[in-house]
Structure 1
C-alpha cells in the first residue's frame, strides 16, 4: 500500500526462513483484500476499513490522517482542522474510506445534490485533481509525505480516528509460513 514500508517485516521473515523466496507486490486501496482472497499474495498490509469476510486480520500500527488540499486553499495555512470544516469540500476518494466525513449531517443532507465523484484510481491521479482545485483527500500522513509536491499541502485533522494498518490473510488457507510472517512483522514493527 502507498505509504506502508514493509522492509522491516520482510527482513524479519527472511532472517527466520533464509531459504524462502519472498516477493513484494504493490497493491492499492481497490485491490488490497482481493489480492489475498484470490491467492495472488499470502499476506497483505491493508488500510482499514476493509470488508473482513474471508479474512483474518492483525493490527500492526496506526497513523494520523490529514486533509490534502491545494496549496492556495482557504484552509491551507491552518495548524489543524476539524472534519466538519471539510464538509462542503468535494472528496476525491471513496467516501467509505472517510466515514467521519461521509456521515457528517451536512453531507447526508447534501448527497442528493452533490456532483458525481471524479474517477481517479491512483494516489498520483487524485493528487493531480487536488492540485487543480477539483477537491480534497483525507490520507494517512505517510502517504502524503511519500508523495510530496509543491502545489499540494496537508493539514492535520484533529477529530478523526487514526488510519489503522493491519496484516490480512485468507481465513480459508491456514499456513505456518503465514503465521510466521505475521509474528515476524508484528515483532519487527513493534521495535
Structure 2
C-alpha cells in the first residue's frame, strides 16, 4: 500500500471514530484525517477532491459519485421536555398534524408532505432550529443522530413511527479507486485484517472427517510413545 494519507469527510451526526481506530491499528504508517463537512457540501467535496471519501446522507444528485448504502436512521421529532408529545414513547405523523413545524435550510430528512403547520421562517441551520424549538416556537424533525448531537437538557425527542428513514452512505468518485479508499471501504464493511485485499488467502478449513482422522492419528502416535521402553532400563 502506498504510504500517503487518506482524508475522510463526514456530515454532522455521522460517527466515523470506530473506523478510524481500526485504520490506525492496521495502518499506523498511513495518516487518516477525519474532516467534518456540511451536509449540503459533502457531495461536492467528494467531486472536487477536497476529501477522498465521505460518510454522508445521499443527495438527490449523485452524478459522478459511487454510493454504498450503510444504514437507515430513524426520523424523530424534537420537542421541549414539557411538550405534550413527550408523554408518549413513540408518535405518528398524525400526532404532528397541528404542530407548528420548523424546516431549516439544511434539512436532510426531505420528507415530502410532512405533517405539521410549516412556519414561514426557515432557520439557516439545524442548530439554529434547535434553539427555536427550545424557545417553544415549533417542532423539528431530524435524523436521530442529529437529535443526539444537539441534545439539550430542556429538549427531548420521540421516534416518528411512520416517517421515512434517513439513509447514510459512503460516497467516493466513480471509477478506479486507490488502494487506500478500497481499504477504508473494507473496514467500514467489516472486512477482517486477514481478508484485506492483497493478502494471501488462508488455508481452507478441514472437513469433519479430516479432523477425526487427524485426532485418531495423534492418539495412535501418543500410544506408541507411551509403550516405548525407557532408556537405561534393564
Over the aligned positions, Cα root-mean-square deviation in angstroms equals 2.6
One of 95, 98, 103 as aligned partner of 1:92: 103
1:40: how far off? 0.9
**Residue ranges of structure 2 left out of the alignment (5+ in a row):** 1-10, 192-234
Q: How does 1:76-91 map to 2 (within 5 A)?
A: 76-88=86-98, 89-91=100-102
Relative to structure 1, the CA distance from residue 96 to residue 3 in structure 2 (aligned partners, 3 Å threshold; closer, same or farther) is: closer
Instruction: Say whether the 8 Å CA contact 2:102–2:119 is kept in structure 1.
Output: no
Deviates more, 1:177-186 or 1:64-73: 64-73
Indicate if the aligned counterparts of 1:92 and 1:135 stay in contact, CA closer than 8 A. no
TM-score w.r.t. the length of structure 2 is 0.67
Deviation for aligned residue 1:46 = 0.6
SS of alignment partner, residue 147 of structure 2? helix
Partner Cα separation in structure 2 for residue 166 and residue 71 of structure 1: 32
Q: Secondary structure at the match of 1:129?
A: helix
- 8 A Cα contact 1:66 1:156, kept in partner: yes
Matched residue, 1:183: 186
Separation in structure 1 between the aligned mates of residue 58 and residue 83 of structure 2, nearest angstrom: 28
- Cα contact 2:75–2:109 (8 A) shared by 1: no
Aligned to 2:135: 132
Contact 2:67/2:169 (8 A) holds in 1? yes
For the residue of structure 2 that corresponds to 1:90, the secondary structure is strand
Provide the aligned length of Structure 1 versus Structure 2: 180
Question: Could you tell me how far apart the structure 1 residues matched to 2:95 and 2:104 are?
Answer: 17
Matched, 1:157 2:160: yes
Greater strand fraction, Structure 1 or Structure 2: 2
C-alpha distance in structure 1 between counterparts of 2:78 and 2:58, whole Å = 19
1:40 pairs with 50, 56, 62, which one?
50
Distance across 1 between alignment mates of 2:121 and 2:21: 40
Distance of 1:54 and 1:84 partners within structure 2: 39
User: Could you tell me the TM-score, scaled by structure 1's length?
Assistant: 0.80
Deviation at 1:182, TM superposition (A): 0.9
Aligned equivalents of 1:95, 1:31: Cα separation in 2? 10
Q: Give the Cα–Cα distance (whole angstroms) in 2 for the partners of residues 43 and 62 of structure 1.
A: 19
How far residue 152 of structure 1 moved from its aligned partner, in angstroms, is: 1.4
Segments of 4+ moved more than 6 angstroms: none
- Say if 2:177 is the partner of 1:174: yes
The answer on whether the counterparts of 2:80 and 2:156 sit within 8 Å (CA) in structure 1 is yes
Distance 1:86 1:49 in 2: 26
Q: Sort the Cα spacing of 1:118 and 1:161 in 2 relative to 1 into closer, same or farther, 3 A.
A: closer
